[in-house]
Structure 1
Amino acid sequence: MEQKMNRSLTLLPVVLFGFSFMALATVFSTYGVAAQISHGMVTGSYLLALIVMLFTAYSYGQMAKAVPSAGSAYAYTQKSISPHVGFMVGWAILMDYLFIPMVNYLLFGIFFSAAFPAVPSYVWILGLLALVTFVNVKGIRLATMANAFISIASILFILIFIGLSAKDIMGGAGTGTIFNFEPFYNPEQSFSYIVAGAALLCFSFLGFDSATAFAEETINPKKTIPKAVIIITLVGGVIFMSVSYFAHNIWPDFTTFTDPDSAAHEIITFVGGKTLASIFLAVYFCTCFGSAMSSQASASRVLFAMGRDGQLPKFFGKLHHKYQTPINNILLISAVSLLSLVLSLTLVASFINFGAFIAFISVNVGVIVYYFVRKKERSVKGTILYLILPGIGAVLDFWLLLNLDIHSKVLGSIWFSLGLVYLFFLTKGFKQRPPELKLETAE
C-alpha cells in the first residue's frame, strides 16, 4: 500500500515552520562571529545574503509548482534534471537536515550550562532531544501550535530589543545616531569582508528550503509553497538586518567584545540589564526547540520521500499507523543527534554549509532545464523568469560556495563522495536508472 501523508497545512503554518527552522532569535547568537568575519558590516552581509536567497527562493517556488512533493530539492532536481542528480542533491541536503538539529542541541547545551553551571550540558541536550522527538512523532498539528508560540515569542523579544536600543541610541549611547550607513558598508574596509559574512549568514535563511519539504501535507501546495518561501525569506531578511543594524549602533566596536561567541549576551545586558538577559534565555530555549523540531521534521520527510521511492531502503519510507508521521526517520535522526554529546560546534557547523549551496545551485539549474529547455518557455517573459533569474541565482550561489571556509569544502566533498559510491552500487555501476519519484496529484 502506498504511503501518503494527510493534507492539513495552510499558508500560515507552513510559514511558521520556516520561521522556526530559521530560528529568528539566533541572529543574536551568530552576531559576534559575523561581526568579526564582516569587520562590523553584518547588516551589509545580511543584505547580500538576502538578495542571493531571494533568487534561490524564487526558483524553489517555481519548482514547487511543478513538483509538489515532500522531497524538496531532491524531488525538484530528480524530476527536472535526472534521477542521478536528484539522488546526489538529496544526499547533499541531508547534511544540513541531519546536522542542523545537532547544532541546536549543542548551542542549547553550551548556553544553558553556562547559565546554570551546576547542571552538565548533556542533561540539557538529552532533555531537549527527547522533547523534540516526542512532538515530531505526535504529528504536524502539535508541531504547528508549538511553532506559533515560538515565532510570536521570538518576534516580540526582537521588537523589545530594537525599541530599547533605539531609545538608548537617541539618548547618546553607541553611535548616538539612528541613521548610520556603516552597518551596511564601511568604505575603510574591503567589500570581500561583506562577501565572507554573507557566505556564513546565508544559512540563516534555510527556513524557506525546509518549508518545501511539507508540500505533501499542504493544502494546494502549488500556490501555497511558492508564497511561503518568498514570505519566509523576505521577513527573515528584514528581521536579521534590523537586529544587526541596531546591535551595531548600540555597540559599534566589534573588537571590544569579551568573547565573540557570547557577544549577544553582552549587547543584550547592556541594553536591558539582567532582566532582558533572563528573558532572552527563555526565548533562546524556544528558539533552539523550534529550530531542532522543524529541521528534524524536514529531514524525516526528505528521508521518507527517498525511502518511498526506493533510493534508500524501504525502512525510510514508512509512516506511523496512527500519527501518519515518518517515525523511523524521526527516531533515526534523534539517534544521530546524540553525537552532539561528543562533537564540537565548529565541526558540526562545517557540515551544513556545503550541502546547502549544492542544493541551491541545483534547484536554480533545475528551473532552467524544466521550464526553459523542456517546456520551451522561451518568450521574452519566459526567458526572464526561467533562464535569467534562476541563472543569476545559480551564479551567486556558486560564488558564495567558493567563499566557504576550507573545512566546509573538505568535509562536504567527503560526504558527497560517499553518496556517489552508494549511488554507484545502487545503479550497478551507473548502468541503471535510480528509482524515481512518483507524484500524486496535488489538490
Structure 2
Amino acid sequence: MSFARTLLRVKPAEQLADDGSRSQLHRTLGLVPLVALSVGATLGTGIFVVLAEAAPAAGPAVVLSFVLAGVAALCSALSYAELAGSVPVSGSAYSYTYATLGELVAWICGWCLLLEYGVSVAAVAVGWGGYLNEFLQGTIGVTIPEIFAAPPGDGGVFNFPAALIVLLAMGVLLLGVRESARATTITTLLKIAVLVFFFAVAITAFRSENMTPFAPAGFAGISVGASAVFFSFIGFDAASTAGEEARNPSRDLPRAIILSLAIVTAIYVLVAFAAVGAVGVGALGESDASLAAALRIVTGQGWPSVVLAFGAVVAIASVVLTVLYGQTRILVSMSRDGLMPGMLSKVNRRAVPARNTVVVGTVVALLAAVVPLNQLAEATSIGTLVAFGLVNIGVLVLRRTRPDLPRSFRTPLMPVVPLLGLALCVYLIFGLDAVTWVTFAIWSAIGLAVYFGYGRRRSRLNERNTEPAK
C-alpha cells in the first residue's frame, strides 16, 4: 500500500462494530445512566464559572450567546446521534471519522478529542477550587491561601484543590463503571436541583434595568460570548464514548445525546437569564464563583450562597468524573487500533482500563494545577469545534458511501443540518483568540509527529493489508 493510501485508509463500520462486540468492557448502562453521563459531563463549569467570563463581552445578550452555542451544538448532536446509532463503539468522533474520512483524519480527530477531554477536565477542576473556597468561607470562615489554590500566573504556585479533585475522580473510575455510573447519576440530580434552587431565588430579584443595554457590542459581542460559552456544551457527546458499555447502544446512544443537550440548553438559558436580571453583568464578572456571589447579593444573606457553593462542589466534581471517563474510553479505541500503546486498552478484573486511567488522571491533575482557567477553556473549545466539524462531514460521507448501513437514527433535513453544524463550528472557531490558535497549532504538530513516528506503522490496518491472499 502506498504512503498516501495508508493515510486515507478507512476502517469499515462493520469492522469497528465487530471490535466493539468483542470488547472486554462490560455492557451495564441503560438510557438513564447514559443521559446522566452526558448531562453530568456537560452541566457544570460552563454555567457555574464561564458565565462570568462571557457576560462582560456579550452584556445581557449572553443569554443569546447560550442559544447560539446551543444551536451549533444541536446540529452537531444530530450528526453524532446518527453515527452513534450506526457505529456503536467507544471511540466517539474518533471512531466515526475512522469509518468515513480515513486514518489520518481520524487520528487528528482523536488527538483533538484528547485535547478537548483532557483540558476540559483540568478547566473544570480549576473552577471547582473557586466554589470550594466559597463553601469553606461560608461555613467555617476559612479559605485556602491563594498560593496553594491558584496556578502560576494567577497569583499561586500550585493549585492543590484542582489536582485533588482529578485524583479523587480517578479513584472512583478505578472502582468500576457501575459504581462510576451510580455516582454520576446521584451528583447530576443534585446539580440540577441546585440550579433550580438558584433560578427560583434569583428570579425574585429580577430587574429590567439590568437587561439594558441588551447587546452593547452588537452581534459581534454575542458571537464572542457564544465562542466562549460553547465550552459549556462540551460533554453532550460523552454518551458516545460509552458505546461498548451500553446495553442497547444503537437505540439508547442517539436518545441520550439529544435528551441531554435539550436538558442542558434549557437550564443554561434560564439560569443565565435569572443571573443577569438579578445582579447585572458587572457583578457576575467579579467572582470565579459567580452564581454563589449573585445569591449573596440578591438575598443579603450567606446561607443561599453556601447551599449553591456546596452543590457546585459536588456537582462540578461529577463533570471531572464523567469527562475523565470519556477520555479513557477514547484512548481504549485508539490503543486497540494500534495508534496508541497497547497498554492503554488493557483492562483489569473490574473491566476497567486501569493503566490508562492512572496515566490520564496523573497528567490531567498536573495540568489543572499549573494552567489558568481562561487558557484551558479556550483550548478546549477549539479542539471540540474541530472534532464536531469532522463529525458533521463524516455523517454526510457515510450517507453517500454506505447508504445501506443500518441506522437507528437519521439526521433530519439532510444535508442542511450537518452543513449548518459545520458552518457554525467554523464560525465559532474564528471567534477564538489568536493565542488559542497558536496553542492548537503546537498541539496539532505534536500529534502529527506522534502519528508519523509511531501510529502509522503500528496501525492494525497494516496487519490486515499485509495478510497473504487466500
- More displaced stretch, 41-50 vs 99-108: 99-108
Q: What is the Cα deviation at residue 426 of structure 1?
A: 3.5
- Report the equivalent of 1:240: 268
Aligned residue runs from structure 1 range 127-146, under 5 A: 127-146=164-183
Aligned residue runs from structure 1 range 59-138, under 5 A: 59-113=79-133, 115=137, 116-118=142-144, 120-121=148-149, 122-138=159-175
Q: Report if the CA contact (8 A) 2:164-2:365 is conserved.
A: no
Letter in 2 for 1:40: P
Q: Report if the CA contact (8 A) 2:46-2:229 is conserved.
A: no
Describe the superposition over 1:372-413 as per-residue Cα deviations: whole angstroms up to 9, x where unpaired: 344289xxxx99644222111111111111111112211111
Change (3 A) 1:300 1:433: closer
- 1:435 is aligned to 2:460: yes
Please give the alpha-carbon distance, in whole angstroms, between the structure 1 residues aligned to 2:64 and 2:204. Answer: 23
Q: Report if the CA contact (8 A) 2:97-2:390 is conserved.
A: yes
Q: Report if the CA contact (8 A) 1:372-1:383 is conserved.
A: no
Runs of 4+ in structure 1 off by over 6 angstroms are none
Give secondary structure in 1 for the equivalent of 2:340. coil
- More displaced stretch, 26-35 vs 92-101: 26-35
Letter in 2 for 1:16: A
Change (3 A) 1:399 1:25: closer
Q: Report if the CA contact (8 A) 2:73-2:233 is conserved.
A: yes
Please give the alpha-carbon distance, in whole angstroms, between the structure 1 residues aligned to 2:285 and 2:372. Answer: 21
- 1:32 is aligned to 2:55: no
Q: Report if the CA contact (8 A) 2:42-2:234 is conserved.
A: yes
- Report the equivalent of 1:259: 286
Letter in 2 for 1:338: A
- Report the equivalent of 2:70: 50
Q: What is the Cα deviation at residue 365 of structure 1?
A: 0.1
Letter in 2 for 1:270: I
Give secondary structure in 1 for the equivalent of 2:208. coil
**Residue of structure 1 aligned with 2:341, choices 313, 337, 343:** 313
Please give the alpha-carbon distance, in whole angstroms, between the structure 2 residues aligned to 1:328 and 1:188. Answer: 50
Letter in 1 for 2:193: L
Q: Aligned Cα RMSD in Å?
A: 2.7
Q: Report if the CA contact (8 A) 1:83-1:433 is conserved.
A: no
Change (3 A) 1:117 1:390: same
Please give the alpha-carbon distance, in whole angstroms, between the structure 1 residues aligned to 2:334 and 2:462. Answer: 8
Where does structure 2 lack aligned partners over 5 or more consecutive residues?
1-18, 150-158, 464-470
What percent identity do the matched residue pairs reach?
24
- 1:211 is aligned to 2:239: yes
Change (3 A) 1:216 1:416: same
**Residue of structure 1 aligned with 2:208, choices 175, 179, 189:** 175
Change (3 A) 1:437 1:271: farther
Change (3 A) 1:58 1:143: same
- 1:10 is aligned to 2:30: yes
**Residue of structure 2 aligned with 1:164, choices 188, 201, 222:** 201
Where does structure 1 lack aligned partners over 5 or more consecutive residues?
439-443
Please give the alpha-carbon distance, in whole angstroms, between the structure 1 residues aligned to 2:454 and 2:112. Answer: 17
Please give the alpha-carbon distance, in whole angstroms, between the structure 1 residues aligned to 2:94 and 2:121. Answer: 20
Q: Report if the CA contact (8 A) 1:84-1:434 is conserved.
A: no
Letter in 2 for 1:143: S
Please give the alpha-carbon distance, in whole angstroms, between the structure 1 residues aligned to 2:269 and 2:88. Answer: 31
Letter in 1 for 2:460: P
Q: Report if the CA contact (8 A) 1:23-1:290 is conserved.
A: no
Change (3 A) 1:166 1:218: same
Q: What is the Cα deviation at residue 139 of structure 1?
A: 1.3
Q: How many aligned positions are there?
A: 421
Q: What is the Cα deviation at residue 27 of structure 1?
A: 0.7
Please give the alpha-carbon distance, in whole angstroms, between the structure 2 residues aligned to 1:257 and 1:158. Answer: 16
Describe the superposition over 1:44-93 as per-residue Cα deviations: whole angstroms up to 9, x where unpaired: 00111111111000000011122111000000000011122111100111
Q: Report if the CA contact (8 A) 1:101-1:296 is conserved.
A: yes
Q: What is the Cα deviation at residue 353 of structure 1?
A: 1.6
Give secondary structure in 1 for the equivalent of 2:27. coil
- Report the equivalent of 2:467: none
Change (3 A) 1:118 1:418: closer
Please give the alpha-carbon distance, in whole angstroms, between the structure 1 residues aligned to 2:241 and 2:313. Answer: 24
Describe the superposition over 1:101-132 as per-residue Cα deviations: whole angstroms up to 9, x where unpaired: 21222222344346332564355334423321
Please give the alpha-carbon distance, in whole angstroms, between the structure 2 residues aligned to 1:26 and 1:350. Answer: 12
Describe the superposition over 1:179-238 as per-residue Cα deviations: whole angstroms up to 9, x where unpaired: x9x58x936541111111111111211121111100110011111111111111111000
Q: Report if the CA contact (8 A) 2:123-2:377 is conserved.
A: yes
Please give the alpha-carbon distance, in whole angstroms, between the structure 2 residues aligned to 1:335 and 1:160. Answer: 35
